[in-house]
Structure 1
Amino acid sequence: MKRLLVYMLAGMSLIGTSCSDFLETIPHDALSPSTTWQTEADAEKFLIGCYDGWADESGILYWDCGSDFGFNYHIHEGWRNIGNGSMTASNQVAGYYSFSMIRRCNDFLTNIANIEFAEESKKNNMIGQVKTIRAYQYFLMNWIYGGVPIIESYETAEEAQVPRNSEEEVKNFIYNELDEAIPMLYDAPEASGYIAKGTALALNMRASLFYGDYQRAKDAAKAIMDLGIYELDPSYENLFTLAGQNSKEIIASVQHDENLYSNWMIATMYNNADGGWSSMVPTQNLVDTYEMSNGLTKEEAGSGYDATHPFANRDPRMAMTVLYPGMDWVGLTGKTILNTLDATIDGAKNPNYPDDADNASKTALTWAKYLNPYTQYGDIWSTNAQPIVFRYAEVLLSYAEAENELNGPSAEVYNLLNQVRNRVGMPDVDQNKYNNQAKLRELIRRERSVELAGEGLRRQDIIRWKDDSGKMLAETVLNGPLTRVVGTVNTSEPDPTKRATISGTALVENRAFASYNRYLPIPQSAIDKNPNLKQNEGY
């Protein structure tokens, strides 16, 4: 199905001034709302402006670099300082403190009230979409920075210079927005790319789970299940390819068209030899988190784990998520065996050797999600890749986590986990081993971590998850050296998972995480514009 929203956004960008710029700079001082907000068609045009950049696309791909599962080498991209704990208010840190999208949504919600619609349900559906977008923006800022100003309307820059609301106040604002939006929305999108009830419920679910409001999270997840629209895709690997974009598992994704509204960020993920920058890469920590194919962790007796061949006999999702040394790969130069371990190959310098070039993966690993197969793209710098914002597996895992925290262990939790595991051929949960709430919590966290790896949720999870002492998990897994494996690749070995022979590790970087790193620093530029803002502690 052609994506209507993509073509409308592309059309806006072809005009001299983009819809985004128009909505940010013009309504209050150039064109009167009385002349630009008169018909349903006018509202539809401004609705498209609220969608332009609504989802956190860069974060979906980059956020794991701020966790133990990912690494960003290029400091100017803004994520390396998040991962190693060297953030300040003025250095290179990815920025989420922005009210431009909220301003667009505010303008829309103010002006649509004056338009008569032939069908009130259509008007309400549009309002519900914009309220969801606004709630998503506030959720991102509130989670990342703590409390931020709640600004529903302002005419001048001076009026926006207000102090921060508390985190609790912003959370409640987000909840209220979603509680109002959800009944307004259609059950299914009116066209591909538009927000429907499932997206608002998924945001409600994620926010509630992050804030520890487990009953609310469980109820939202159950409401998505009850819609009967979404289901697990039979192929996990298919979800992250062009062929899988219409999967019933996908609740919301960022829309693109390779010719009119392309996604160039995919190219930055590829390794050096394939023309990429290795901007965001997975780590060995992620590989080590996967269970063995028999359902045991690599540390358990009888697991069959071999440290010299760490990629062998693992959860099938590992090879669907990570491009590892020794695997078969069809890239820029055609069919080959991926080698990121040897400095030279057949006497020539290896462009993918971690120390060879800035654009070589420093962890010796590359993401497979969205990148495999390489041949699906005609031009990796102009793709139709659609990064997933919400998908049904997250719903099942969120319900399982909330249910376990409320009532676990329970048959519901085991059943949901088995659905996710069985999809990729992993065995059922061993109920004799995971027989109490604490043990089941450990499994749920691991299952969520590997299922959603590379999808921008790992840092948020290790911040919200606590150990038995109440300390953030991030304080353990993000303090200390980040390492990669070293060794050699034997191309004559027929088993791809055993071609790499690992002999040790090498340092990628030293990392630190202080308790105040729970929040990012508010950018100094934002404080300069609004002197009423108070910086987060520690920065």
Structure 2
Amino acid sequence: AEWPVKVKNLYERILADLLPIDWDKTSISVITNGNNQRRINKVMALAYLGKNYLWAASPLMNYSSTGSREYNREYAQKAADAFGELLNLVEKGATQYELVSYDKIGEVFYSYGQNGRMPGLTEVIFRGPEWDPWQNTRYGLALQYVPTPYHPDGGGNNLSPCANYVNYYGMANGLPIDDPESLWDKTHPWKDRDPRFYNDIVFDGCLITDNYQNPLPNIELFTSGASRDINTASRTGYSLKKFLHPTCNRYDDGWGWSPQFTIGISYLRLADVYLMYAEAAAQASGSPSGKSAACQLSALDAINKIRQRAGVENVNSKFTGNIDSFMSELRRERAVELSFEGHRFNDLRRWMLIDKPEYANKTSVEFKRTGDFDPAHPENNAVSGYHEEVIVSRSYSEKHYWLPLKKSDCNISAEFKQNPGW
């Protein structure tokens, strides 16, 4: 069962050894110089070599191979070494990749007024396909990320993050909101949160237009508010703005062809590599202080590097005493940093968690506004009756750790088995 993994990893290792770090700096790419962002290079190969090993080390794969639901430490060490080799190059400034400053984080996901420039800056390692201008501008992805009343035509889809997912966004002090020492308060649920909460999430009272010359009412996401209609706006009490330029709404007219607003959500970016390295190094050593010989960063250092970039305090010492506590924060960190980028479903499967109620249930947040409303600082506004309600329960079981194989493939040979449960 392990030979396909070994063959794939050998292939990635060969690529990592043969490919240049930056094609723009080679003599054979003169014609394509400046346009090599999607060309496979050494950093991409190392990143996917590490990812292959980390997935092979995961509880799901190890359970399939050995019957153990723990990580495979041998594969975790190989993953840490591949990621460590990559991060050592990055930390030395020997690659074209680095984490962008947080004031430019939006440009990792979109470009605006830049002639359709490919998003990503120096952080994106492996970009997704760019289908065409129709799909990647106002008429495609963008319309999904803003409450329907703010759409240019008032229609279309609206993606509303569920409340129990938004709860992963902890406090600026680095603690999760359910920690007794976090200082999170149900009467002021938006106050002093992780800065990524304010960057990614539209919550009650936010002004999601950029038209300050003619300001419009702040968004109403309280129970029965104007933007809580289940058919036209938010079902959960939240909306998403992580992938939107501030002017992308019907009032500022930032959707059109002239600003060329372009969304590009990548397959792999450098922040993900730091977090995968933290996971691999911790699991290989059994400790948050674990590291690869190829890199000076410990698992704890790597996760803190991502938090520091966002302006969040480091992982609290109460979570660094053992591997289980550390993993709870690492999983939360992946949920926040990589939110809505397409990783969560596979993460929960490889951790063998997708069928657990706390992940299968999806909730909304219900509350009323109370006290004086401050339109300029909605994070400080008070609410009453704050609680969550389950609105969807996914019927996942252990069979959903895997996807079904085509019946026609399974019928080719008696030795070609269907995945468990299917």
Using the size of structure 1 for normalisation, the TM-score is 0.59
Matched to 1:207, the amino acid is: N
> In structure 1, what is the Cα distance between the partners aligned to 2:355 and 2:135?
40
Matched to 1:318, the amino acid is: F
> In structure 2, what is the Cα distance between the partners aligned to 1:437 and 1:426?
21
The residue aligned with 2:251 is none
* Counterpart pick for 2:188 among 285, 309, 312: 309
> In structure 2, what is the Cα distance between the partners aligned to 1:178 and 1:538?
32
The residue aligned with 1:353 is 228
User: Counterparts of 1:144-183 in structure 2 under 5 Å?
Assistant: 166=1, 168-183=2-17
**Structure 1 outlier segments of 4+, above 6 Å:** 331-334
1:340–1:354 CA contact under 8 A, matched in 2: no
The residue aligned with 1:507 is 390
Greater CA drift, 321-330 or 368-377: 368-377
1:240 aligns with 2:125: no
- State the 1:185 CA deviation: 2.3
1:330–1:336 CA contact under 8 A, matched in 2: no
2:223–2:237 CA contact under 8 A, matched in 1: no
* Counterpart pick for 2:145 among 269, 272, 283: 269
* Counterpart pick for 1:391 among 269, 294, 303: 269
2:146–2:241 CA contact under 8 A, matched in 1: no
The residue aligned with 2:256 is 378
Gaps of 5+ in 2: 25-35, 58-74, 113-117, 249-253, 290-296
User: Structure 2 vs 1, CA of residues 179 and 380 (structure 1 numbering), >3 Å: closer, same or farther?
Assistant: farther
User: Counterparts of 1:36-47 in structure 2 under 5 Å?
Assistant: none
> In structure 2, what is the Cα distance between the partners aligned to 1:200 and 1:360?
42
1:257–1:384 CA contact under 8 A, matched in 2: no
Matched to 1:361, the amino acid is: S
Using the size of structure 2 for normalisation, the TM-score is 0.74
The residue aligned with 2:88 is 226
> In structure 2, what is the Cα distance between the partners aligned to 1:514 and 1:425?
38
The residue aligned with 2:354 is 474
* Counterpart pick for 2:400 among 480, 503, 517: 517
User: Counterparts of 1:433-512 in structure 2 under 5 Å?
Assistant: 433-465=319-351, 472-477=352-357, 481-489=361-369, 492-494=373-375, 495-499=377-381, 501=383, 503=385, 504-512=387-395
Paired residue secondary structure (1:486): strand
- State the 1:515 CA deviation: 0.9
User: Counterparts of 1:201-220 in structure 2 under 5 Å?
Assistant: 201-212=46-57, 213-220=75-82
1:266–1:381 CA contact under 8 A, matched in 2: no
2:354–2:360 CA contact under 8 A, matched in 1: no
1:197 aligns with 2:42: yes
Greater CA drift, 506-515 or 313-322: 506-515
Matched to 1:319, the amino acid is: Y
> In structure 1, what is the Cα distance between the partners aligned to 2:326 and 2:100?
25
CA RMSD, 1 decimal: 3.1
Larger radius of gyration: 1
> In structure 2, what is the Cα distance between the partners aligned to 1:374 and 1:171?
46
Matched to 1:473, the amino acid is: L
> In structure 2, what is the Cα distance between the partners aligned to 1:317 and 1:268?
20
Matched to 1:507, the amino acid is: V
> In structure 2, what is the Cα distance between the partners aligned to 1:334 and 1:202?
45
1:322–1:365 CA contact under 8 A, matched in 2: yes
User: Structure 2 vs 1, CA of residues 267 and 199 (structure 1 numbering), >3 Å: closer, same or farther?
Assistant: farther
- State the 1:423 CA deviation: 1.0
1:253 aligns with 2:87: no
- State the 1:484 CA deviation: 0.1
Matched to 1:362, the amino acid is: R
User: Structure 2 vs 1, CA of residues 336 and 210 (structure 1 numbering), >3 Å: closer, same or farther?
Assistant: farther
2:106–2:243 CA contact under 8 A, matched in 1: no
- State the 1:448 CA deviation: 2.0
* Counterpart pick for 2:279 among 398, 401, 416: 401
1:175–1:204 CA contact under 8 A, matched in 2: yes
**Identity, % of aligned positions:** 25
Write the deviation string for residues 393-417 of structure 1: whole angstroms up to 9, x where unpaired. 1111111111111222317223222
Paired residue secondary structure (2:167): helix
Paired residue secondary structure (2:262): coil
> In structure 2, what is the Cα distance between the partners aligned to 1:262 and 1:292?
33
Gaps of 5+ in 1: 1-165, 345-349, 466-471
- State the 1:315 CA deviation: 0.9
User: Structure 2 vs 1, CA of residues 340 and 192 (structure 1 numbering), >3 Å: closer, same or farther?
Assistant: same
1:290–1:314 CA contact under 8 A, matched in 2: yes
More helix by share: 1
The residue aligned with 2:235 is 362
Write the deviation string for residues 418-465 of structure 1: whole angstroms up to 9, x where unpaired. 211111111233336522333222222222221111111112222222
The residue aligned with 2:19 is 185
* Counterpart pick for 2:309 among 423, 435, 438: 423
Paired residue secondary structure (2:183): coil
- State the 1:261 CA deviation: 7.2
1:463–1:518 CA contact under 8 A, matched in 2: yes
The residue aligned with 2:68 is none
> In structure 2, what is the Cα distance between the partners aligned to 1:388 and 1:272?
25
Matched to 2:300, the amino acid is: Y
> In structure 2, what is the Cα distance between the partners aligned to 1:396 and 1:445?
13
- State the 1:388 CA deviation: 1.7
State the aligned residue count: 356
> In structure 1, what is the Cα distance between the partners aligned to 2:411 and 2:268?
36
- State the 1:314 CA deviation: 1.1
- State the 1:334 CA deviation: 7.0
1:269–1:366 CA contact under 8 A, matched in 2: yes
User: Structure 2 vs 1, CA of residues 427 and 385 (structure 1 numbering), >3 Å: closer, same or farther?
Assistant: same
Paired residue secondary structure (1:289): coil
The residue aligned with 1:45 is none
Write the deviation string for residues 62-81 of structure 1: whole angstroms up to 9, x where unpaired. xxxxxxxxxxxxxxxxxxxx
